A and B are shown apart, each in its own frame.
Chain A
């Protein structure tokens, strides 16, 4: 049991400060988690989607390049194909770097494998220009579609993850806000409780002492009041009683 008024008041305020401090720390913790989710979305999902789009665009350029070669514009067609291949290689490096989702690495491996097959077919079509249209539109185009489907799958994977992270962030935002709201309500309850306890344990005994002092009549040797607490107020009452006794004995001796 705390026996000093100063400690009582200090402890109650410290509890309030502690609660607000923790509420602040909790909000920071949640904000930090939110920041991580933001980084995840921006660094991983968004980058992956961006590079997957580049790969799709480059694949379509390669598809156009082979048509140019077949239509007689060989040099332009070849340069388009080489530029697109270079874009695909660079983008694949970035995609690999940002592979954080579950199953993403498997999808990347599939893309690489399908693209290798597509590149081999593309090389053989360029070298053997006498190939029939059937070879270009069936085998090569089918492989182009397969590769593109895998890249689309990678994009969907990241889009789904982005959506779920956005939902999580929405919830986190709510959870970041809640400790603050609860703290405000709690601070009000705290204030009411503090007011009650101060009134009950400090103000009421003081009023009792004041009334008892006002109503004191000699030759009583102590104040007609009971103080239940064990703090300084009780000491004050004891000291007033001692003072009365000393004054009475002084008066008697005079």
Chain B
């Protein structure tokens, strides 16, 4: 593994982050806010650390897979560390651990916050919070691939570490075009949502921040009470539509928009995904109405928003879901675990994997019936190789194991069962809000510092889909 190659490309990642830090600093400077110096200086730190390796390193044409893996994993970690600099330097509620938690939560698009008073933050810091979502949503490495004028081999190996095997299957184009497709869809959706929210009465600044947060399926809001602050059904519907779109496979979304086939409407897995969501919404709405919590209309409205928010792993809130009945809570916990589709900006275990899991189950049952038969599991008429099947099953086991261990550690810190359980799954699935003390309108401020570190690493594990981190350890171990 060539350390200089890893350092060089992490440098590019830092330079990309610096762009957004300068933009946030510009907002602060323009509004004469106290956050100008922390933002500008953090931008400078990123620029200098990013430029420094370029002085020494020579041109690198080919990146090995292990190096790509290291760039991806270490790049994410370093990005999170430099992302906390403006928070730490600004102060306020941002202690060291809080700043790290907020930064990791931002980049991994979790959207869990430690802030009690969001509305008192300077606009520059609020924009930086939204930016971390937006950068992390697409994947900081993919962003770098978009702007790097480098060789094809390099793009390909970096891309392999950032996008899962299952996700790559759905893209019908070459690796070098995928970053461009994702970029186009990502930027277009953000612009479209910003304009819509702005037209519906949100301030331009809030519309930009909420759009960046929605498309990245993050969940950071500029308001203490998230989307509940606006209490506007049209804004909620807009956010719901964009949350749903952001939870779909971007490659398929692109193909659908340009009018080619097979697109979203031909995909059986997408239809099943939508069907699951509709059943979830109806189930929760019926339960809320039955328990006399809201009128029928309000039950449907809140159910629609909360289910979509959790299934897309965004985490925006319109109501306090901690007071909801157990049936509704269990459905929401399921969607938190399931998450969105592969190839989207969302997190969670991913619906395609659950879909594939049932395909494997079906295949196994048929093999029991016909031991000599040859069967294959399929997603949208595409045969899934045994390698991907094995990866999916392994991922399921590791995912549950990680969640279980993290919950266990949290309960050891005297955190109650429901809070520990929901905080753990909400962090691993990059959703944000959980239940108990970390409900949809609460925050993570009251948790002990050690718990915040555990959850931060869980968020990173969830974002990097665990396997990448384990594989990197394997490479280091081999050395």
Binding site for B on A (CB under 8 A): 1-2, 8, 11-12, 15-16, 18-19, 22-23, 26, 29-30, 168, 171-172, 174-175, 178-179, 182, 186, 189-190, 193, 196-197, 200-201, 228-230
Contact = CB atoms under 8 A, between A and B. Distances in A.
A20 to B, nearest CB: 10
19 contacts: A11-B55, A15-B51, A15-B55, A19-B45, A26-B37, A26-B41, A29-B37, A168-B34, A171-B91, A171-B92, A172-B34, A179-B89, A193-B7, A197-B4, A197-B53, A197-B56, A200-B56, A228-B58, A230-B58
B37 A12 contact: no
Given A26-B37, A172-B34, A200 B4 contact: yes
B37 A179 contact: yes
Among A19, A168, A172, A230, residue most surrounded by chain B Cβ atoms (within 10 Å): A19
Contacts of A196: 3, 7
Contacts of A178: 38, 41, 88-89, 91
A23 B44 CA distance: 9
A15 B37 CA distance: 19
A182 B41 contact: yes
Given A168-B34, A172-B34, A200-B4, A193 B41 contact: no
Contact of B41 (A23, A200, A230): A23
Given A182-B89, A201-B56, A30 B48 contact: no
Nearest to A7: B55
Contacts of B44: 19, 22
Contacts of B4: 197, 200-201
Describe A's contact surface by its main secondary structure: helix
Among B49, B53, B56, B85, residue most surrounded by chain A Cβ atoms (within 10 Å): B56
A125 B122 CA distance: 56
Given A15-B48, A182-B41, A182-B85, A8 B55 contact: yes
Interface of B: 3-4, 7, 34, 37-38, 40-41, 44-45, 48-49, 51-53, 55-56, 58-59, 85, 88-92
Given A174-B91, A200-B56, 8 more contacts: A15-B55, A19-B48, A171-B92, A175-B89, A179-B37, A186-B49, A193-B7, A228-B58
Contacts of B56: 8, 12, 197, 200-201
B52 A12 contact: yes
A253 B239 CA distance: 86
Contacts of A15: 48, 51-52, 55
B40 A26 contact: yes
Nearest to B40: A26
Contact of B91 (A23, A175, A182, A197): A175
Given A15-B48, A189-B49, A230-B58, A175 B34 contact: yes
Nearest to B45: A186
B52 A175 contact: no
A16 B55 CA distance: 13
Contact of A1 (B37, B52, B59): B59
Contacts of B40: 26
B276 to A, nearest CB: 47
A137 to B, nearest CB: 48
A175 B55 contact: no
Contacts of B3: 196, 200
Nearest to B88: A178
Contacts of B38: 175, 178
A30 B51 CA distance: 26
Contacts of A23: 41
B58 A30 contact: no
B53 to A, nearest CB: 7
Contact of A30 (B37, B59, B85): B37
Nearest to B59: A1
A245 B40 CA distance: 56
Given A1-B59, A15-B48, A228-B58, A171 B34 contact: yes
Among A168, A172, A179, A196, residue most surrounded by chain B Cβ atoms (within 10 Å): A179
A2 B85 CA distance: 30
A8 B56 CA distance: 7
A22 B46 CA distance: 13
Contacts of B51: 15
Contacts of A228: 58
A153 to B, nearest CB: 25
A24 B180 CA distance: 41
A77 to B, nearest CB: 53
A196 B53 CA distance: 10
A132 to B, nearest CB: 55
A59 B53 CA distance: 72
A83 to B, nearest CB: 45
A175 B58 contact: no
A19 B51 CA distance: 12
A212 B56 CA distance: 23
Nearest to A33: B34
